[in-house]
């Protein structure tokens, strides 16, 4: 693989949109993307082509906040609690499943494409057979309410690179690592600073772990969110990342932030596990690159928008980011 300089990140394409794109999936060995939108549709896009919008998949009732690719399908999840399978080539709907009782926050495919995992505000992670759409297993490991008896949310999940483990993360900053084959809990870690409760002015809570990622060797687990918030009507705290040796339950890295505010909406390790890419935002957006070995920030910049998700090319020379009213392509120069 070509050696990438993580500090040399350039914006090479910026495409304006009328909607908010909450999630994105990238087709390997191409520049084709599928992105979930605030208008209830999934759009097929190619930012390097003209026109850049190739088609649309319409069927959800509400925000589409999870999308992934399998060998043959696009799978999407939305505010309506439904998972939908679409034929990747014909764009026809293959099936629609009432998957969750509440808002589906995340949808990811296992590395071998045999399973799809979905998490939602009903606080359950469900594993689905990719080909048949049948429910394989339910994972219950998160409390439905906060200690103040307000509803919690199950925001995100991620498979390890070998597909053997799955991590799920919630509003309280509680993360469970599961053995995929058995459904057994292997470990837990907690990032309580990422959760804020205001008992005086608003009687409301905010925050949570919004992104999670395994290192390529599966040893480390990175969590993204925000720090403690003084005014919970705004995302005024600094964006925060914590990294754990999840088997030991020990925090190995703490990046409390020193410049950009808001939520870390997406995290990913590079293929060698040397550095960690993070993006998110509040009213604006940011991108951060952490040197894992040196335990420091290698680079941080404003993004053109609040970033909700990104997907990397196989060589990690291109990053496709989506968010508020924009799609952006970043490239690392060698």
What predicted TM-score, i.e. pTM, was given to this entire model?
A: 0.96
Which residues contact residue 90 at a Cβ distance below 8 angstroms, ignoring those fewer than 6 apart? Answer: none
Q: Is residue 3 part of a domain?
A: no
The whole-angstrom separation of Cα 212 and Cα 158 is 6
At 50 the three-state DSSP class reads coil
Confirm whether 227 is domain-assigned. yes
Residue 106 lies in a domain: yes
Q: Are 298 and 290 in contact (CB under 8 A)?
A: yes
Confidence of residue 155 (pLDDT cuts 50, 70, 90): very high
Mean pLDDT calculated for residue range 299-311? 97
Q: What is the DSSP letter of 208?
A: -
Residue 112 lies in a domain: yes
| CATH number of the CATH domain containing 278 | 2.130.10.10
Is a pLDDT exceeding 80 seen at residue 230?
Answer: no
21-74: pLDDT as tens digits: 999 999 999 999 999 999 999 999 999 999 999 999 999 999 999 999 999 999
pLDDT at 333: 77
Q: Is residue 323 part of a domain?
A: yes
For residues 194-218, one letter each, b for 16 or more C-beta atoms within 10 angstroms of the residue's C-beta and e for the rest, the string is bbbbbeeeeeebbbbbbbbbbbbeb
Domain limits for position 73 = 9-332
Q: What pLDDT was estimated at residue 203?
A: 63
Q: Is residue 4 part of a domain?
A: no
Please give the mean pLDDT across all residues of the chain. Answer: 94
Q: Does residue 2 form part of some domain?
A: no
Phi then psi dihedrals of residue 107, to 5 deg = -140, 125
Measured CA to CA, the distance from residue 285 to residue 245 in angstroms comes to 28
- Rounded to an integer, what distance in angstroms lies between the CA atom of residue 273 and that of residue 291? 9
Give SS3 for 211: strand
What would the pLDDT profile of 177-199 be if each residue is shown by its tens digit?
999 999 999 999 999 999 988 77
Which residues have C-beta within 8 Å of that of residue 194, sequence separation ≥ 6?
173, 207, 208, 209, 223, 225, 226, 227, 240, 242
Total domains present in the chain: 1
Which of the four pLDDT bands, split at 50, 70 and 90, describes residue 206? confident
In this predicted structure, the answer to whether residue 19 has a pLDDT above a threshold of 80 is yes
Residue-level pLDDT at 3 = 67
């Amino acid at each position: 693989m070509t050696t990438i300089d993580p500090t040399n990140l350039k914006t090479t394409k910026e495409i304006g949109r009328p909607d908010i794109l909450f999630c994105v999936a990238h087709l390997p060995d191409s520049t084709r993307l599928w992105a979930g939108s605030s208008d209830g549709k999934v759009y097929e896009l190619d930012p390097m082509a003209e026109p850049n919008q190739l088609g649309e998949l319409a069927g959800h009732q509400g925000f589409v906040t999870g999308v992934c690719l399998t060998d043959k399908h696009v799978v999407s999840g939305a505010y309506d609690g439904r998972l939908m399978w679409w034929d990747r080539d014909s764009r026809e709907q293959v099936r629609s499943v009432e998957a969750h009782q509440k808002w589906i926050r995340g949808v990811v495919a296992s590395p071998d494409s045999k399973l799809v995992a979905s998490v939602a505000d009903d606080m359950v992670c469900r594993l689905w057979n990719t080909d048949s759409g049948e429910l394989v297993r339910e994972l219950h490991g998160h409390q439905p309410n906060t200690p103040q008896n307000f509803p919690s949310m199950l925001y995100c999940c991620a498979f390890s690179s070998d597909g053997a483990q799955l991590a799920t993360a919630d509003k309280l900053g509680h993360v469970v690592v599961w053995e995929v084959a058995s459904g057994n809990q292997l470990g837990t870690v907690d990032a309580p600073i990422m959760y804020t409760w205001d008992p005086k002015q608003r009687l409301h809570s905010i925050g949570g772990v919004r992104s999670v990622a395994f290192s390529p060797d599966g040893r480390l687990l990175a969590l993204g969110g925000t720090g403690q918030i003084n005014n919970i009507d705004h995302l005024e705290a600094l964006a925060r990342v914590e990294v754990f040796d999840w088997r030991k339950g020990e925090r190995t890295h703490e990046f409390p932030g020193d410049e950009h505010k808001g939520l870390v909406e997406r995290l990913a390790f590079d293929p060698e596990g040397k550095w960690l890419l993070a993006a998110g935002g509040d009213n604006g957006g940011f991108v951060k690159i952490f040197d894992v070995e040196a335990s420091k920030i290698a680079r941080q910049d404003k993004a053109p928008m609040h970033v909700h998700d990104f997907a990397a090319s196989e060589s990690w020379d291109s990053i496709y980011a989506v968010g508020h009213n924009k799609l952006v392509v970043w490239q690392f120069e060698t």
